Copies of this chain bind each other. A is one copy, B any other.
Amino acid sequence: MVGAVLELVFTPDRSDAAPLSRQLAVYLRGLIEADRLPAGGKLPATRELAATLGLSRATVSLAYEELVAAGLLTAHVGQGTFVAAPATRTVRLAPTSSVESRNFVWSGLLAVRARALPLPSRLLSGTPEPPRFDFRGGQVDLESLPTSEIRRAFADVIGSRLPALASDKDPRGWPPLRRAIARYLVGRGIACEANEVAVVNGAQQAIDLVARVLLDPGDTVVMEQPGYFGATLAFTAAQAHLVGVRVDEDGLRIGDLARILRARRAKLIYTTPAAQSPTGAVLSAERRRALLALADEHQVPVFEDDYDSELRYEGAPIAALKTLDRAGQVIYAGTFSKVLFPSLRVGYVVAARPLLDKMVLARWNADVGTGTITQAALAALLERGGLERHLRRVRRVYAARLAAMLATLDETMPAGTVWTRPRGGHGIWMTLPPAVDPEALARAAGAAGIAYTRGDVFYADGRGTENVHLSFAALTPDAIRAGIRLLADLVRAHGAGRQRRRSAR
């Protein structure tokens, strides 16, 4: 069978400077690396292959020997020559994939960072049926969407400015939107010029661009653990070394951070000070100052992901960490995902020009820029106050949902279950009693029509299985009460009085 494959596609090129044995070895190596010759497969005898290909037996032997030397083949006297097991190869191979009629094998061609591409697939894969109680994150209240204002903003800008939008080429973003964002950020205490703002496709792109311009493989990134999974994914894909800082009710623990920064050179600190993702903790004023002092002492840039700051339901708004940034080392990212909806894909980054300019270059290479129609519509919405009006509306909506969730948790959850009490944001972070088997609970919840985000999604290292993130954004207070009550019953059914069992995962 192997011989047939070779016969089909190997064409020795006698005009090539490389000797035929070399050509054959290169060809076989490609097949092995592409998993066309499976591990353990026996190659044809040299005589047989030489006859098939019209080559001398010495040529085939030389090619085999070269591949044995490279660890790709193994020779067993009296038995023949075999494709080496992946473990013994110098290049690690991915398993084969099965695509019906298409036989090109991609796995061996993937870049190192692509082979390692992490994905919590349950984040992306929809459930077969929409769950009755959907506590998963990344959602907003669909009833509150300012549909007619959004429709009017799009229609107006298309009607009046399409030629300008169609010919805009500024990779930093549509200038009127950058100006509107600079004005909007005064509300976060940030004074910046429009030329210090770049529009991006949501905070995720800001994270990715910072990874592109700051991180070499192996560089250390310090981030909260639990922490935002999108940051974990982007930094992991950039082959960074992630070091976690624990968090408590005042946000990331400064003692941990100080220890880490003393012990190793970090390239970046990633943090969510306004509403720690996923716990919702607000970084205290004292820790903010200490964080910046440490970052300054060790000359480490700080990425402030201010993703949820607008959704604050009680207490005074807290100015962004960026407002305390004297040196210009805080990279500030915000988004319209939480205020409007995530699939709008518009966010912004404010950073010192030397870095921002590099990010904009990297951004051009990545995808040129953000679609100008959406940018212009958002600028119109901001200028008309539509965003502020919407924010005031959803703050009331979400405050009531948060209250309903906390009250029902208080009422119904069995002893030993603990959860955070955020004053803003989209959700709460719950720790299950040690006796509850998280796997069994997740199965039972799924069967009961309850969807939530499992805690290990927010850890880079598999911890967090005893945690659950519950978003209240997409459910009415009544549904929240019913769903939490049902979940509490399941927690009770799956753990009360039992011995602690650890998940096998």
Contacts and interface: CB of A to CB of B under 8 A. Distances in A.
Interface of A: 9-11, 13, 15-18, 22-23, 25-27, 29-31, 33-36, 91-97, 99, 102-107, 109-114, 117, 119, 124, 126, 138-140, 142, 145, 147, 150-151, 154-155, 158-159, 162-163, 165-171, 183, 186-193, 196, 200-202, 204-205, 208, 212-216, 219, 230, 233-234, 237, 258, 262-263, 265, 267, 285, 289, 296-299, 301, 313-317, 319, 322-329, 340-346, 352-355, 358, 361-362, 364-374, 385, 388, 392, 395-396, 474
A208 B27 CA distance: 28
Q: How many copies does the complex hold?
A: 2
Given A200-B367, A345-B368, 8 more contacts: A15-B392, A17-B314, A31-B299, A111-B219, A124-B170, A212-B237, A230-B368, A345-B369
A354 B106 contact: yes
A298 B265 CA distance: 43
Contact of A365 (B170, B234, B326): B234
Given A94-B191, A191-B96, A326-B95, A367 B111 contact: no
Contacts of A117: 213, 358, 361-362, 365
A34 B186 contact: yes
Contacts of A314: 17-18
Contacts of A263: 17-18
8 contacts: A15-B396, A16-B392, A29-B189, A31-B191, A34-B189, A113-B212, A145-B162, A345-B370
Nearest to A190: B34
Contacts of A297: 9-11, 27
B145 A353 contact: no
Contacts of A201: 201, 367-368, 370-371
B205 A171 contact: no
A367 B93 CA distance: 28
Nearest to A329: B104
Contacts of A18: 262-263, 314-316
A204 B34 contact: no
A153 to B, nearest CB: 9
Nearest to A119: B361
Nearest to A153: B158
Residue with the greatest number of chain B CB neighbours at <10 A, chosen from A140, A193, A371: A371
Contacts of A296: 9
Given A92-B289, A371-B374, A301 B109 contact: yes
Given A16-B262, A94-B323, A191-B94, A166 B234 contact: no
Contacts of A215: 111
A104 B301 contact: yes
A94 B170 CA distance: 26
B30 A298 contact: yes
Nearest to A195: B99
Contact of A352 (B35, B104, B124, B138): B104
A183 B30 CA distance: 12
Contacts of A323: 30, 33-34, 93-94
Nearest to A264: B26
Given A102-B327, A186-B31, A166 B191 contact: no
Kindly list the 9 A-B residue pairs having the minimum CB-CB distance in the complex, ordered from nearest.
A102-B328, A34-B191, A30-B189, A166-B341, A114-B213, A104-B329, A201-B367, A205-B367, A104-B327
A145 B163 contact: yes
B299 A214 contact: no
Given A15-B392, A92-B324, A208 B33 contact: no
A208 B371 contact: no
A162 B186 contact: no
A116 to B, nearest CB: 11
Contacts of A95: 326
B189 A166 contact: no
Contact of A103 (B10, B163, B328): B328
B110 A213 contact: yes
Contact of A214 (B15, B31, B110): B110
Contacts of A315: 18
A286 to B, nearest CB: 11
A345 B187 CA distance: 30
B94 A322 contact: yes
